[in-house]
Amino acid sequence: MALKTAEQYYESLRQMSPTAYVLGEKVENVVDHPLIKGQIAGVAQTFALAHDPEGKELLVGRSSLSGEEVSRFVKLYESVDDLLVKVKMLKFLSQRTGTCYMRCTGMDAINATGVVTYDVDKKYGTNYRERFLEHLKYIQKNDLVVWSGVTDVKGDRSLRPSAQTDPDMYLHVVDRTKDGIVVRGAKAHQSGSLCAHEGLILPTREMREADKDYAVCFATPTDAEGIIHVYGRGTLEERALEGVDLGNVEYSKFCPLVIFDNVFVPWGRVFLCGEYEFAGELVRTFGDYHRHSHGGCKCGVGDVLVGAAAAIAEYNGVPDASHVNAKLVEMIKTAETMYGCCIAASVEAKKSESGIYLVDSILANTSKLYEGKEYHEVIRLLVEIAGGLVADLPSEKDLSNPEIGHFIEKYMKGAADVPTEDRMRMFRLIEKLAFETRDIVSNIHGGGSPEAHRMTLLRDTDLEPRKKLARKLAGIKEKE
């Protein structure tokens, strides 16, 4: 049973019993919760489209572990082509959901763990890699959805994990037993954790010797004892709660805070434990992969942004205004830049000793920098093109009110051949695309904050040979 159907996915989720709180209340049935179900619907598309001829080309690969067909979301990056297909797969899915379907986090965490367990074993003679591949076979065999727990809550940002007043501000090992470890801490921004069967937990930064207990990587079921998912608020919740004026009528996103309250993890699911000098490599490898994922994903969303802008210009009656065209070009430019840099980061990938390919970090981080900054301008351009009704649009409920519905129908009309309802729907979609906090803040802070990407660019660019080129052209003699 390598490739689940969407129905099987839903079924499997219903069999889980995670501890979840939403807006102060414990929720038993997360699958149907109005603030949760929109993202489950997005993840379901990753299953549904794997059975679609066009989607299958991108979504399904062959596992080198089992020789079977598996979802690419649980497959290792074993070639440049795997990385190229990954970018295209994410673009394809984002075009169809317009928001997050969350599985890239697990995919990137799986690969980063695959790379680093090899390196740790090589140095210490540990058997993390074997454990990990065993676990991965299980994931592949059951076509499970994996979330990656990376971002710790961090407490005081100026202090290292072991220097915090409260030692739990970074997740860490609080006990070691014969059977496993016990961990405590919390991971924020856990995109769609409740859509997933399994979590793969990674450190969020490099560690030093004093931070040893924080250098831990492991797998855990989403509904393990002691794990509590607390829904994080976003904009437009009223719409989701009532199911009207949704904008994106099927898909949405949520990102809980996930608390680990003394969670037990058996040794077979522990892939790093104390080898602190590998924490940095693990999170950096994940980070580069994940910025690469963002590029694929967000250029797909970018196509939706461009399409929405072009559509609303048409609905407003000004499809060919020169200033609209000029703005569309700027939007296209940024979306294609993210795509181009990630395609290039795939082509320039290098094979690690583990056999897994590492994307080019400079190109992947360059792509992410555009998402973090220029993409925000893309969204502004969308709003500029659309006009003021991105805000202040009356509700569908007004449209269907018998006393005033006809006024809304009349006055929200744009171009003659466009039904008012269609125009209102497009404005709602644009409102969602431009003002849904989870997506917009993720553009900026997802996959690490822009300063992290900038630091990566600086760290991974070797300035010495560049200085040498300049000195040579200037006629400066090199010192002996």
Contacting a copy of itself within 306-365 (CB under 8 A): 306-308, 310-311, 314, 316-318, 322-323, 325-326, 328-329, 332-333, 336-337, 339-341, 343-345, 347-348, 362-363
Tell me how far, at minimum, the Cβ of 460 lies from a copy of itself, in Å: 9
Question: Residue 241 interacts with a copy of itself (CB under 8 A)?
Answer: yes
Tell me how far, at minimum, the Cβ of 416 lies from a copy of itself, in Å: 5
Cα–Cα distance, 75 to 63 (Å, whole number): 6
Cα–Cα distance, 238 to 245 (Å, whole number): 9
In b/e form, how buried is each residue of 238-253, taking b as 16+ CB within 10 angstroms? Answer: ebbeeeebbbbeebbb
Question: Residue 256 interacts with a copy of itself (CB under 8 A)?
Answer: yes
- Scanning 103-111, 201-209, 350-358, 402-410 for contacts with a copy of itself by CB under 8 A, the matching segment is 402-410
The 273-312 contact track toward a copy of itself, x by CB under 8 A, reads ------------------------------xx-xxx-xx-
Q: Which of 271, 277, 254 is nearest to 194 (CA)?
A: 254
Question: Residue 133 interacts with a copy of itself (CB under 8 A)?
Answer: no
Residues 47-106 that bind a copy of itself (CB under 8 A): 84, 95-98
Tell me how far, at minimum, the Cβ of 149 lies from a copy of itself, in Å: 13
Select 116 or 385, whichever has its Cβ closest to a copy of itself: 385
Cα–Cα distance, 447 to 453 (Å, whole number): 9
Count residues contacting a copy of itself (CB under 8 A)?
150
Beta strands in 128-239 (DSSP E): 146-149, 172-176, 180-187, 198-201, 216-221, 227-230
Backbone torsions φ then ψ of 160, nearest 5 degrees: -70, 165
Q: Which of 259, 265, 270, 273 binds a copy of itself (CB under 8 A)?
A: 259
Q: Are 126 and 300 in contact (CB under 8 A)?
A: no
Q: Are 406 and 421 in contact (CB under 8 A)?
A: no
Residues 409-448 that bind a copy of itself (CB under 8 A): 410-416, 422, 425-426, 428-429, 431, 435, 437-438, 440-442, 444-446
Q: Which of 170, 168, 262, 261 is nearest to 207 (CA)?
A: 170
Tell me how far, at minimum, the Cβ of 264 lies from a copy of itself, in Å: 18
Alpha-carbon dihedral sign for residues 6, 12, 15, 17? negative
Question: Residue 141 interacts with a copy of itself (CB under 8 A)?
Answer: no
Q: Which of 15, 24, 353, 480 binds a copy of itself (CB under 8 A)?
A: 24
Select 271 or 339, whichever has its Cβ closest to a copy of itself: 339
Select 353 or 478, whichever has its Cβ closest to a copy of itself: 478
Alpha-carbon dihedral sign for residues 408, 414, 416, 418? negative
- Classify 186 in phi/psi space as left (phi over 0), alpha (psi -120 to 50) or beta: beta
Question: Residue 167 interacts with a copy of itself (CB under 8 A)?
Answer: no
Q: Which of 69, 223, 237, 281 binds a copy of itself (CB under 8 A)?
A: 237
Neighbours of 364 (CB within 10 A): 31
Question: Residue 160 interacts with a copy of itself (CB under 8 A)?
Answer: no
Q: Which of 212, 296, 366, 371 binds a copy of itself (CB under 8 A)?
A: 366
Question: Residue 469 interacts with a copy of itself (CB under 8 A)?
Answer: yes
Cα–Cα distance, 62 to 313 (Å, whole number): 44
Neighbours of 163 (CB within 10 A): 13
Select 32 or 166, whichever has its Cβ closest to a copy of itself: 166
Question: Residue 188 interacts with a copy of itself (CB under 8 A)?
Answer: yes
In b/e form, how buried is each residue of 313-325, taking b as 16+ CB within 10 angstroms? Answer: bbbbeeeeeeebe
Question: Residue 227 interacts with a copy of itself (CB under 8 A)?
Answer: no
Which residue's entry shows tokens 């309250």? 261
